[in-house]
Structure 1
Amino acid sequence: MNAVLIALLVLPLLGAALTLAPIPDRLAPRLGTAVTGAALALSIALAAGFDQDHPSRMQAVTDVSWIPSLDIRFHLGVDGISLPLLVLTALLTFLCAVYSTRRMPSGDGVPGARSFTGLLLLLEVGMLATFAVLDLVLFFLAFEIVLIPMYFLIARWGSGAKVFAANRFILYTLLGSAVMLLGFLLIGVKAGTFDMTRLADAHGAGLSHTTQVVAGLAILLGLAVKAPAWPLHSWLPDAHTAAPTVGSVLLAGVLLKMGTYGLVRVWLPIVPDGAATFAPYLGAFAAVGILYGSLACLALARPGAKGDLKRLIAYSSVGHMGFVLLGIASLTQSGVNGALFANIAHGLITGLLFFLVGAVKDRYGTADLDTLSGTTGAALYGRAPRIGGLLAFAAVASLGLPGLAGFWGELLSMFGAFDPAAGLSRPAFVTYMVAAGIGTLLTAAYLLIVVKRVCMGDPKQPAPVTDLPDLKAYEAVSWTPLAALTVVAGLWPALLLSLSDPAVKHLLGGG
């Protein structure tokens, strides 16, 4: 099993190195598909060999000394928290590679497919490593590896104000990472180790209250930027609007999860006093983020606002990730389980939404809602019924319809807020829960408006384009797994909760 996990990280790294060779551009997307497909197969093999009777125990462990003088170790492993995120990352990267074989961003001054494929594979290495490493220094390095590939994917293959958006992305995330690193170094110096499992098992023992509070604040700020928590979210809408379709899918589906995963893996168990100190503030910011994201989407969805559909979905992520942060802030088993479930659900649903919005933009040449909908609506149900049906499906999944993946995570996060951990103010968290409940109503409102404007209307009315092809084969291959898993996770939530619940109990100090 440990060889499988190492191979999962090494394979895309070797694939990225191969793109430095002078291979023809036309072969690069096929190389990317083959490598990411093999990585997905390895992640499935890892999941198949995972001992589901002991999901709180680290498995597939590799632990060797790397820098002995600083007690920094090359330490890898997976448990019930990280395994679903590893599989999700491998799946989304493979689907993006498949999509790119037929829809490679191109144009004047845009680099070739070989560079694009190399950056995509390097991005996969960093994303997978973030969920597999068990040393704080390695976690920081993996956290940083993803920044450069994503920067160039936005700046070179994006559209609109792509350089500004990429610069803003890198500035925010680098500053956040620098603050997070200070927290890691403080913990390592005071505890004498950077090993995440030893630190988590100690549950704050050996670290003074002051150290935990200072380190906890630094780690929280650094991870909140990537989460993204309000008000540190402002880089996200620009990045999503400018990014190519596969960049938006991976940014929403995986990169945002790196921040919330870090909060669960590092912040909660290693500095519990710091987490308890700042949890009420995180809960408040999460509630504001839920309302803010929903209201921003409502403003973009109304006729005459010239709202960009990609920007709207980006703001919706601020609201959805607010539920994840609220569940974490409750410091309860149900709340953290809900946060982890919502992480996976958001990756599936929002990944599908960005694929669909990218397809609509490719066909119409724009993602502007007013241009798309005109006076009667874009009428996708009549002009491209399969794409219209999938868009409506993704929208109702995103608004939390029972029976689909979006429902359970948000419900459990609000349960956690309803009865927070001892020491937290229940009236305050009940207030946050009520705000989150209002946010679900606002979410339903703007998503139904989007469905009405984009999917409904008179197909006989003039459209911005005359030829509007429906779902293509490569699109069906890329999108069907996300739709299917959204249904599976909604109907069978125990598939994820049975993995995460024992691991969360262990991280929270309950066994």
Structure 2
Amino acid sequence: MIDNWPLLTIITFLPLAGVIFLLMIRGDDEIVANNARSVTLWITGFNFIVSLSLLLGFDSNVAGYQFEEFAEWLPNTGINYHMGVDGISMPFVLLSTFLTPLAVLASWRAISHRVREYMIAFLVLETMMIGMFVSLDMLMFYLFFEAVLIPMFLIIGIWGGARRVYAAFKFFLFTLLGSVLMLVCMLAMYVQTGTTDIPMLTAHSFGTGMQFWLFLGFFASFAVKVPMWPVHTWLPDAHVEAPTAGSMILAGVLLKMGGYGFLRFSLPMFPHASELFAPVIFALSVIAVIYTSLVALAQSDMKKMIAYSSVAHMGFVTIGIFTFTEQGIAGAMFQMISHGLVSAALFFCVGVVYDRLHTREIDAYGGVAKVMPRYAVFFMFMMLASVGLPGTSGFVGEMLVLVGAWKASTWVAFFTATGLVLGATYMLWLYRRVMFGKVTKAEVQSMEPMQLRELGIFVPISILVLVFGIYPAFLLDVMAVSIQIIIDELSVSGVALVASN
């Protein structure tokens, strides 16, 4: 029965149907705002339930794409409406549909003006995120990939903090510039092959010289999205100025677009160029892990500290991808999903106390655990997951990446491992200063306890982080065959054998 439904189309465009409902709401501002929140929560929640059918119907033993949908889009051009998922893309689809309703809940009290427009931006954003992960046509991928910028630009620029306009334009310009170079490379690929179909392009063998330039063009876009050092400077500003829900989606899903792009395009389509540039990727990633961890230690703003930690964690991802090993790529995938959950929860942790005291300065707090003990427990759990405590999802991804890095280069593995120590240092330092000590400020003493809505956000994320940490095969089995396909393609090109020695 599942095969008879265009599930990917439904999951992708269902949020846009919610936009129509929101536009039809009438009444005074309070009625419109309350109805907009409720409709958006119902639509995104229902979309998550529908997306679970992908997991139920997905066969992890089948190579290639599943739930494929194909229709002629632009006749006689080789450009078609083509959707499908495999073990690489499906976890990101579920991550997107899972985090979006939680982000809506996180906005329930925090957003009080132009609520309908805010919810419309989130529904459009969900469509674009899902569309990007399920697109099997290169032009479709690019359209969704770029369209994601628009709603996030508005979310930061309209509902953000004091420097929201600056942060929004910096975010937009950084990400757009790299994507223009990628578009030029896509046009070159289309001219040579006559198609924009991703499976066909993957099967095509591009010349070594052409791979060099194509890799650079795609790298310019994906590196900004990750973001890699030194093109990471837009991220702290965007996170600090974005509303809490915007930071949850930005860190939880949008930062994964670059890693996904490397796995979908760079490794399978440009294997020789990927091998050539792997040492450069390792160097930039190691710098990101160490440098941004040290910068995080110097922060006085909780949100900015977590933003820099995201750059460090994504450094693990790029290292794992370019080890060209099964453990490294699986670890990178696992780390992206884990970081998507943990970072979203950490940014919500900041949002919980910000909603009460309207400051993110670490020195403004102290002794919060005595006033909000349940909050302290969830914050501690997510903090420990972020530093890779065994039994949490963060441990599995980082360990697999280190195993893959060790096979590629013992020095890369050594310097990458320093990120574990530095990560524990700044996160424990943050937790101690915010949660422990005497309650010396009247504002902290008067903070209200956690609400049921806030528990409804923390609990499902905590469950997944714990389940993936205790039983990682639940996620690894879904990805295994698709990762093995990438490894086999690299092996045919001679890349994996060189990298594994």
TM-score normalised by the shorter chain: which range applies? over 0.9
Query: Whole-Å Cα distance in 2 between the matches of residues 419 and 91 of structure 1?
Result: 34
Partner of 1:126: 128
1:372-417 CA-partner distances (Å, limit 9, x unpaired): 2xxxxx1122110011111111111000011100011111111111
Q: Does 1:333 align with 2:341?
A: no
Partner of 1:271: 270
Query: Whole-Å Cα distance in 1 between the matches of residues 361 and 350 of structure 2?
Result: 11
1:40-439 aligned at under 5 Å gives the runs 40-54=48-62, 56-100=63-107, 102-106=108-112, 110=113, 112-200=114-202, 202=203, 204-205=204-205, 207-300=206-299, 307-372=300-365, 378-420=366-408, 429-439=409-419
SS in 2 for 1:159: coil
Count of aligned pairs between the two proteins: 482
1:31-84 CA-partner distances (Å, limit 9, x unpaired): 100110111011111111111222x32110011221233311111001111111
Could you tell me whether the CA contact under 8 Å between 1:227 and 1:256 is conserved in 2?
yes
Query: Whole-Å Cα distance in 2 between the matches of residues 463 and 414 of structure 1?
Result: 46
Query: Which stretch shifts more, 277-286 or 242-251?
Result: 277-286
Could you tell me whether the CA contact under 8 Å between 2:106 and 2:244 is conserved in 1?
no
Query: Whole-Å Cα distance in 2 between the matches of residues 310 and 122 of structure 1?
Result: 25
Query: Whole-Å Cα distance in 1 between the matches of residues 402 and 201 of structure 2?
Result: 29
Whichever residue aligns with residue 70 of structure 2, its letter is D
1:151-203 CA-partner distances (Å, limit 9, x unpaired): 11001111121110001000001111111112222222222221111222x2x
Query: Whole-Å Cα distance in 1 between the matches of residues 233 and 367 of structure 2?
Result: 32
Match of 1:478 among 457, 463, 467: 457
How far did residue 22 of structure 1 move?
4.3
Could you tell me whether the CA contact under 8 Å between 1:134 and 1:196 is conserved in 2?
yes
Could you tell me whether the CA contact under 8 Å between 1:217 and 1:278 is conserved in 2?
no
1:267-300 CA-partner distances (Å, limit 9, x unpaired): 1101112211211111111111000121011111
Partner of 2:424: 444
Query: Whole-Å Cα distance in 1 between the matches of residues 291 and 192 of structure 2?
Result: 39
SS in 2 for 1:74: strand
Query: Whole-Å Cα distance in 2 between the matches of residues 68 and 320 of structure 1?
Result: 43
Query: Whole-Å Cα distance in 2 between the matches of residues 115 and 242 of structure 1?
Result: 18
Q: Specify whether residues 7 and 36 from structure 1 end up closer, same or farther in structure 2 by C-alpha distance, changes over 3 A only.
A: same
Could you tell me whether the CA contact under 8 Å between 1:187 and 1:211 is conserved in 2?
no
TM-score by length of 2: 0.94
Partner of 2:29: none
Whichever residue aligns with residue 164 of structure 1, its letter is Y
SS in 2 for 1:32: helix
Partner of 1:424: none
Q: Does 1:488 align with 2:467?
A: yes
1:327-384 CA-partner distances (Å, limit 9, x unpaired): 0111222111110000000001001001111011111210001222xxxxx1122110
Gaps of 5+ in 1: 301-306, 373-377, 421-428
Whichever residue aligns with residue 327 of structure 2, its letter is S
Coordinate RMSD, CA, aligned: 1.4
Query: Whole-Å Cα distance in 1 between the matches of residues 484 and 442 of structure 2?
Result: 55
Query: Whole-Å Cα distance in 2 between the matches of residues 21 and 121 of structure 1?
Result: 15
SS in 1 for 2:136: coil
Could you tell me whether the CA contact under 8 Å between 1:17 and 1:118 is conserved in 2?
no
Gaps of 5+ in 2: 27-31, 493-501
Whichever residue aligns with residue 486 of structure 2, its letter is L
